[in-house]
A = this chain, B = another copy of it.
């Protein structure tokens, strides 16, 4: 794209310094000056601010080699924590990440299910307090909480809209309820978008790269990062990969469209197909209980990876369908890198990665111009919660810099 924001000036410089100290281990101010092209006074000012904030600390000196020894700087990883909460029908996951991006704690409890939003919000508040106390984290060190859910979000209102798996939550002002109870900044976001941002950061993807994350949860979503910014579209509803038509005039979808990818390839329809073929799957332990959809999907994936023929066929069908829609995504955005994340990729990721790679190799429109990498998240199940936690943390270190769930004003 045509426009580039200079990474060396403006609000990005603080984030750049943090990134450099984080990635280059102990480093001196002089080396930072050389690495960034910023002036010595600028480096000194930024470093002083970071030290005052506790994010960076001095850690000894370079061995003297004749010249004046230099003070080294390192990240104070435990200066601040981001908390990410992944709110789903079946489970709620909370994670904490430190300034280095490392996960310092993770806890999983029962999901929202069919419970009232108020009760679930209260459970989140309790979970948060127990989680901090269990980890021995000071509440004052928490930069903020990001709660991510499937489905659309009303960003300005901090509310969840009508996610098909969480219908009771439509319009519920979760952000304000939690912020009041917790006394820390709270943001609400989409799970696929949060996972996309988390994967973009943790992989240190270049800002010039056309990057996407395909997210397999209860539904199917995607996030796209162009020029270092998460693509939002008109109403932060961009990336609806689950509602790409793969079969014209096919099965009707709850969204109003027909032949949507999600209607065929998501865990729900895949387990429904397994139920229809359950006589051939009697060695696979499936409950067919809607409240255990993810567990059933994991079981099916385990059987498939283990060589159970019918399970493998069912999973392959889903993978081929997601692969076809991913080619569409790649052709419309001319992508260079795709990461697969989400709970659905935890066991079955290799099957999906292979199907997507194979189809891109023979079908990607620009394949003669450039290659396209397909990678698996290193933690597909918690990718959205980790992305959410990294997001609030990054927002507190360098507001306004890098991809964010919240559009700039």
Contact = CB atoms under 8 A, between A and B. Distances in A.
B365 A331 contact: no
Interface in A314-352: 320-321, 324-325, 327-329, 331-336
A152 B232 CA distance: 27
Contact of A210 (B227, B234, B331): B234
Contacts of A332: 222, 224, 238-241, 244, 328-329, 332-333
B244 A247 contact: no
Interface stretch (A53-61, A254-262, A383-391): A254-262
Contacts of A324: 245, 248-249, 258-259
A366 interface: yes
Contacts of A210: 233-234, 238
A240 B370 CA distance: 15
Interface string A136-169: 0000000000000000100000000100000000
Contacts of A335: 233-234
B1 A366 contact: no
A366 B234 contact: yes
A352 to B, nearest CB: 16
A255 B327 CA distance: 12
Nearest to A321: B248
Given A244-B332, A331-B243, A332-B244, A1 B256 contact: no
A229 B334 contact: no
A334 B209 contact: no
Contacts of A366: 152, 233-235, 237, 240
A48 interface: no
Contact of A327 (B232, B245, B362, B403): B245
A345 B62 CA distance: 69
Interface string A356-370: 000000111111011
A365 B237 contact: yes
23 contacts: A2-B400, A152-B365, A152-B369, A224-B332, A226-B233, A233-B335, A233-B366, A234-B366, A235-B366, A235-B369, A237-B369, A238-B332, A238-B334, A240-B331, A240-B332, A241-B332, A245-B327, A247-B247, A247-B248, A256-B362, A256-B364, A257-B331, A257-B363
